[in-house]
């Protein structure tokens, strides 16, 4: 920690790690975050709501460094770390004592901060913010004089990250002027230079974190507020955020970073979360196989399940595309309960005989019945109303997606989850898709009095799931996949679906890639794998058949997502089987998916669209994936070399996904150009060594 600078002149306390500095103003109660390139977050304060009155650190009559709070840890993760606390006191006896905690780590361009609020007796609040900056004139952010003088950087975008992936919600990048509330994380960035700030919560035990960002004029962010207590339409709540109580109440721990490339910042944010709560470990390789939902939906039966298993065994495993050490799952989705016990046993036996593993489906926090007075199966004298989440007056919450929310803390709900998962394990299943999990994070009155918020309840319920399927408990690995679920908290599953349902049409491909455009960084940080949903090569049960270009684009989108590659066709249909043989059996596409690496967007998209070019650097060179989302017209794609991580001089040739020369790809001096037909895409390698492609 030799490069650190620490200053304390009584008016300011300053800590500088050589990359960024935090300046605590001990006269005003504000804090500034500054970076060596001149970037800054200015005039920030902390605040909390007490009995409908907002108390701010700037209200204090005294602002002081607590000497005993200064902690240096030279052995901390990432290098030396310094933490300290600034205390703000107001003469008013009713006011809370506010304490801001700051953490800087050597070599890292981000800080962590949180706010605690204390009173002599227990109290409660529904809202607390560790970082708030409010202006009417000018911007609370500065990119430095040099950056702000660049003509290309006049546009400034605010990233909207949804709380969950329900109801076909989209990520979006809103150019300022705008007024945005993102959830858990955002980036404010210049799309041309990619310079950007990243703000987000890295603790997810109590609060739903909202990030409010607004500006009136181009390039200026006038308002920034990161707070615990978000609740509303996007969190699926009809009640206010739960009131957190105690003598001392802490805000979310918040990440404040600035990067030359906002994409690096989002990846660093993901890693910061993983340091606090690691992804659930998985050693079994990329998940391959099949899921029943898009193929047959509610027409699921034993015949399609076993015949698909046979097809995968013969075509992909027998042909060598899938290896013996690959994790191959054949998964029931909803409506598996229409099969008899004998049929389920036969299906599991067939799958295992084919060298695969069977998977199944559950919705542990959702009640799909219409009658709350219906008796609960297996629990005599109990009706569902007792298990359902309610408001403070005892009224049931409105349904979400047609289902009532179960209370994850109710002992009978907990026991029913344990029984169901134990049944899955006993029956020989090795994979479970958990769906409609946002129900478990909704605000309401919970059975356990110590559970005060929806996020606390969700953590409680998901820990039951994780512990019930712990390999140390059941004696073997068991893959946990989340479908519709909050992005945070994480650490309870091996994969999470990156978007809502994505089927086979080009619009589905674009929708899923909208999520990848802004959430590629989730892969191997929060979850081991991003899940691009079932990969439909020919036809989803609820849609028309796709063109070949549409089908290839859906496959390409899944290959670049991180990824799990679960197919989604009914392979009793000849055309579906033919496409799988032609596109997958030779093994090249499977080999790319097997890397388990996510491509990242070359450039983001304004508004709620998807990027049309994604890239992945490997030892072979640079993989590029380009898409045309127009289902009726061809399009030209141009990717400039200065937007990529290698130069024209480093590239010897372009090779297609299948290892042949890519004749439609032109490697110009300034850019890569290619023509794509309607709904078409291309995945190709810019090879740096012609002999390296295998």
* pLDDT 10s digits, 636-655: 999 999 999 999 999 999 99
Residue with tokens 């907990």: 414
Query: Residues 612-620: what's their mean pLDDT?
Result: 96
Give the largest Cα separation in the chain, rounded. 79
DSSP 305-360: HHHHHHHHIIIIITTTSS-TTSEEEEE--TTGGGS-HHHHHHHHHHHHHTT-EEEE
User: What confidence tens digit (pLDDT) does each residue in 58-79 have?
Assistant: 998 999 999 999 998 876 555 6
Over residues 566-594, the pLDDT tens digits come to 999 999 999 999 999 999 999 999 999 99
The reported pLDDT for the residue numbered 154 is: 85
Q: According to the model, what pLDDT value does residue 691 have? A: 53
Compute the distance between CA of residue 30 and CA of residue 44 in angstroms, rounded to an integer: 5
Question: What integer pLDDT is reported at residue 151 of this predicted model?
Answer: 65
Residue 73, pLDDT score = 81
The count of other CB atoms within 10 Å of the CB of residue 547 is: 18
Q: What is the mean pLDDT of residues 136-154?
A: 85
DSSP three-state, residue 445: strand
Which of 143-147, 166-170, 361-365, 404-408 is predicted least confidently?
Answer: 143-147
Predicted local confidence at residue 284, as pLDDT:
93
Judged against a pLDDT cut of 50, whether residue 512 lies above it is answered with yes
Instruction: Answer yes or no: is pLDDT of 221 > 80.
Output: yes
Do 654 and 685 contact (CB within 8 A), yes or no? yes
Mean pLDDT of 435-445: 98
Res. 657: pLDDT tops 60: yes
Question: Angle at which helices 506-519 and 548-559 pack, to 10 degrees?
Answer: 20
The answer on pLDDT for 694 being more than 50 is no
Q: Give me the percent of the chain exceeding a pLDDT of 90.
A: 94
Name the pLDDT band for 468 (thresholds 50, 70, 90).
Answer: very high
- Using alpha carbons, select from 5, 78, 82, 73 the residue that is nearest to residue 36: 5
Per-residue pLDDT for 693 more than 50? no
- pLDDT tens-digit readout, 406-434: 999 999 999 999 999 999 999 999 999 99
* Per-residue pLDDT at 248 exceeds 50: yes
pLDDT at position 76 is: 58
The tokens for 175 are 């150019």
What does pLDDT average to over the chain? 96
Residue 201 in contact with residue 184, Cβ under 8 Å? yes
Taking a C-beta distance cutoff of 8 angstroms, is the pair 223, 140 a contact? Answer: yes
Are 42 and 140 contacting, i.e. CB atoms less than 8 angstroms apart? Answer: yes
Q: What are the CA-CA distances from residue 249 to residues 28, 65, 97, 382, 418 (Å)?
A: 23, 20, 11, 36, 32
Q: What residues are paired with 42 via a beta bridge? A: none
């Amino acid at each position: 920690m030799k490069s650190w600078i620490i200053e304390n002149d009584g008016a300011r306390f300053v800590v500088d790690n050589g990359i960024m500095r935090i300046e605590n103003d001990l006269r005003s109660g504000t804090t500034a975050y500054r970076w060596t390139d001149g970037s800054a977050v200015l005039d920030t304060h902390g605040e909390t709501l007490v009995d409908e009155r907002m108390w701010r650190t700037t209200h204090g009559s005294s602002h002081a460094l607590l000497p005993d709070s200064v902690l240096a840890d030279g052995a901390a993760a990432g290098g030396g770390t310094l933490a300290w606390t600034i205390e703000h006191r107001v003469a008013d006896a009713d006011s809370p004592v506010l304490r801001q905690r700051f953490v800087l780590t050597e070599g890292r361009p981000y800080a962590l901060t949180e706010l605690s609020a204390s009173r002599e007796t227990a109290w409660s609040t529904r809202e607390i913010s560790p970082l708030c900056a409010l202006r009417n004139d000018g911007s609370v952010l500065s990119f430095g004089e040099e950056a702000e003088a660049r003509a290309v950087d006049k546009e400034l975008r605010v990233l909207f990250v949804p709380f969950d992936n329900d109801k076909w919600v989209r990520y979006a990048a809103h150019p300022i002027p705008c007024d945005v509330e993102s959830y858990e994380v955002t980036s404010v960035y210049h799309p041309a230079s990619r310079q950007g700030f990243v703000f987000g919560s890295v603790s997810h035990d109590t609060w739903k974190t909202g990030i409010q960002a607004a500006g009136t004029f181009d390039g200026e962010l006038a308002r920034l507020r990161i707070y615990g207590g978000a609740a509303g339409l996007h969190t699926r709540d009809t009640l206010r955020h739960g009131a957190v109580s105690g003598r001392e109440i802490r805000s979310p721990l918040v990440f404040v970073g600035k990067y030359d490339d906002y994409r690096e910042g989002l990846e660093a944010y993901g890693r910061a979360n993983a340091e606090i709560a690691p992804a659930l470990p998985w050693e079994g390789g990329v998940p391959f196989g099949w899921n029943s939902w898009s193929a047959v939906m509610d027409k699921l039966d034993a015949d399609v399940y076993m015949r698909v298993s046979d097809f995968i065994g013969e075509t992909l495993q027998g042909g060598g595309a899938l290896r013996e050490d690959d994790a191959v799952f054949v998964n029931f989705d909803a409506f598996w309960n229409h099969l008899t016990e004998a049929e389920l046993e036969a299906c599991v036996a067939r799958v295992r005989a084919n060298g695969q593993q069977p998977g199944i489906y559950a919705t542990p926090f959702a009640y799909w019945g219409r009658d709350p007075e219906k008796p609960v199966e297996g629990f005599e004298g109990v009706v569902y109303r007792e298990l359902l989440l309610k408001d403070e007056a005892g009224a049931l919450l409105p349904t979400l997606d047609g289902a009532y929310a179960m209370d994850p803390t109710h002992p009978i709900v907990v026991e029913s989850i344990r029984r169901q998962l134990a049944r899955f394990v006993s029956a020989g299943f090795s994979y479970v898709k958990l769906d409609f999990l946002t129900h478990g994070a909704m605000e309401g009155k919970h059975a356990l009095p110590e559970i005060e918020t929806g996020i606390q309840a969700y953590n409680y319920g998901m820990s039951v799931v994780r512990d019930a399927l712990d390999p140390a408990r059941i004696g073997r690995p068991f893959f946990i996949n989340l479908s519709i679920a909050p992005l945070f908290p994480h650490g309870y599953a091996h994969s999470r679906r990156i978007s809502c349902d994505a089927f086979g049409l080009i619009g589905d491909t674009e929708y899923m890639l909208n999520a990848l455009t802004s959430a590629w960084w989730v892969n191997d940080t929060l979850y081991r794998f991003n899940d691009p949903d079932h990969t439909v090569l020919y036809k989803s049960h609820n849609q028309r058949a796709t063109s070949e270009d549409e089908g290839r684009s859906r496959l390409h989108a899944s290959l670049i997502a991180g990824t799990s590659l679960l197919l989604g066709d009914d392979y009793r249909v000849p055309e579906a089987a033919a496409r799988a043989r032609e596109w997958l059996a030779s093994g090249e596409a499977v080999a790319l998916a097997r890397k388990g690496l996510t491509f990242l967007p070359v450039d983001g998209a304004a508004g709620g669209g998807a990027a049309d070019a994604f890239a992945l650097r490997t030892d072979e060179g640079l993989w590029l994936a380009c898409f045309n989302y127009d289902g009726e017209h061809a399009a030209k794609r141009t990717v400039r070399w200065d937007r990529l991580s290698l130069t024209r001089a480093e590239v010897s040739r372009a090779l297609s996904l299948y290892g042949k020369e890519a004749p439609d790809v032109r490697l110009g001096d300034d850019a890569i150009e290619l023509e794509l037909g309607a709904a078409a895409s291309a995945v190709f390698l810019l090879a740096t060594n012609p002999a390296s492609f295998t």
